[in-house]
A and B are shown apart, each in its own frame.
Chain A
């Protein structure tokens, strides 16, 4: 019996969200009196995989098949299922990412497991039951969900679990083959197009986000957003109307019908704070709102606020960050 964690890697590195997943998995293993094994997907180096020991992982299974570099649903699902069988995994933990949800939902059927996505806390296991807390109603509520059966799959929401860092501990990296064949790569991508993100920080993984709304007046003013983001090491985002009129690309649109982010810091500039926008950002740890209208609804959801003109305030903030560094 063991806990299996799925770690997503990119360009040799383990993604930040997967360090959280690994930490979640090793803590669950401890609760259940067992150990946590990881299985790697994407492009990984052995040295970086061994470092997963710092997150409490004892062993990492690594299939060196080069076609696993890009996300292929068929192949990833088979690889993880094979690892779960080998390790007799009772709990499988993955990131609540596009990859995690695509693979996790298929695995739940294949392995006859119960599944919860969008999970924000470690499970409660009193009295033989297994309950996890997950986000629901687009960030407006939480649900405690009881997972039945003796196999469970948990997809952990980004930035909701603190990653462990036990310096010096290493995991044993073990070569593993899931015997993947061409048929498993039938849905392999013909092409992969990566976005050009400001400062190279991807919005879904970002710790800090600077976001602009219609109050920015036009795309020509986005340098103000980008300058502050750059100074802070933040990703940039926008409200829906901004991407609808193509001031900014669609992948920056956050909210109910865009992506959900939960960074440590979300700075909203010239965004009114409509309920559909809040749905995508309200689990951010600290929210800062800059708006010239003191009645803007966003102030009710904010931790810090400045009632003022973005064109005046943003350059001052950027300057202050530069002075601080």
Chain B
């Protein structure tokens, strides 16, 4: 079975977010980039399923410029077999979805996995767009994924519960916890990753439909009002009379 795992390259979760002086772009200076944490669930689960099936391939795909390659190599070190980088700045979700759909179609992948959303743009859109472009089912967000032959059983989170869904390959799923315990690279993985194939392709010339005109930070908090522990009940009065939230 051929798995395609889409990963994005995002600022580390501890990053203090700042922007360029014109507020048009995220300020990358001094920021460490990681594999999007949600994508790690997709990657590890694909590797586990491949191992359980005793064959098949896991290909990682990233739409990004050359500076994403260290994290693509990291995905290879975790256990993917090969990688494709679409050499382009990921302009918006639709732009990225078109690249993924085009590669998925040409490569004849059976299972297309990705994280629920990227922690920088938080779009939560690419899964559905890829599914629609390929006219195949999408399951989002998936908390569990098992395969038996060409049939997948998934748990999809809905507000307040979950649905058990069955779909046949090919399909798209966007993954989240508690799907698996994301793996970290070991020494052997890091050594072999260096020689695994990483193919760079140019984007299919398609436009984006949205554009970020500016970024802003949330207004700073006023500062905390402390209530002595002995008078804890006072807090409840403040929440009713001052904050008016209860």
A residues contacting B by CB (< 8 A) are 10, 15, 70-71, 73-74, 77, 96-99, 101-106, 108-110, 113-118, 131, 135-149, 186-195, 197, 202, 204-205, 208, 232, 250-251, 253, 256-258, 264-265, 275-276, 279, 282-283, 285-286, 288-289, 299-309, 312-313, 316-317, 319-321, 323-324
Contact = CB atoms under 8 A, between A and B. Distances in A.
B229 A307 contact: yes
B90 interface: no
A109 B140 contact: no
A306 B216 contact: no
B161 A74 contact: no
B99 interface: no
Interface in B123-182: 123-129, 131-133, 137-141, 143, 156-167, 176-178
A117 B211 contact: no
A197 B138 contact: no
Contact of B232 (A116, A148, A313): A313
Contact of A109 (B123, B133, B229): B133
26 contacts: A15-B159, A74-B137, A98-B140, A98-B141, A105-B138, A106-B128, A109-B97, A117-B123, A135-B122, A140-B218, A141-B215, A142-B215, A144-B213, A148-B209, A190-B166, A192-B162, A194-B161, A208-B246, A250-B177, A257-B177, A286-B239, A288-B235, A304-B226, A305-B227, A312-B232, A320-B236
A135 B227 CA distance: 31
A148 B95 CA distance: 13
Contacts of A146: 210-213
A187 B140 contact: no
A306 B210 contact: no
B225 A114 contact: no
B161 to A, nearest CB: 4
A109 B97 CA distance: 10
Contacts of B11: 137
Q: How large is the interface on B (under 10, 10 to 19, 20 to 34, 35 or more residues)?
A: 35 or more
B164 A324 contact: no
Given A208-B246, A303-B225, A319 B233 contact: yes
- Looking at B17, B125, B164, the one whose CB has the most chain A CB atoms below 10 A away is B125
Given A101-B125, A286-B243, A137 B17 contact: yes
Nearest to A240: B177
B245 interface: yes
A103 B128 contact: yes
B131 A106 contact: yes
Contact of A306 (B19, B235, B240): B235
A321 B246 contact: yes
Secondary structure class of chain B's binding surface, majority of residues = mixed
Interface in B89-109: 93-94, 97
Contact of A265 (B139, B141, B239): B239
Contacts of B212: 143-146
B83 to A, nearest CB: 24
B137 A186 contact: yes
A274 B214 CA distance: 27
A309 B214 CA distance: 43
- Looking at A205, A250, A303, A307, the one whose CB has the most chain B CB atoms below 10 A away is A303
Contacts of A305: 224-227
Contacts of A312: 229, 232
Interface string B195-226: 00000000000000111111111100110111
B3 interface: no
A276 to B, nearest CB: 5
Contacts of B164: 189-193
Contacts of A187: 137, 139, 165, 167
A255 to B, nearest CB: 9
Given A300-B221, A324-B237, 17 more contacts: A102-B138, A104-B128, A108-B209, A114-B209, A117-B124, A187-B167, A188-B165, A189-B165, A191-B164, A205-B159, A256-B37, A286-B239, A305-B226, A306-B229, A313-B232, A317-B236, A320-B237
Nearest to A304: B225
B122 A137 contact: yes
Nearest to A298: B224
Given A109-B133, A285-B245, A142 B224 contact: no
Contacts of B210: 114-116, 145-148
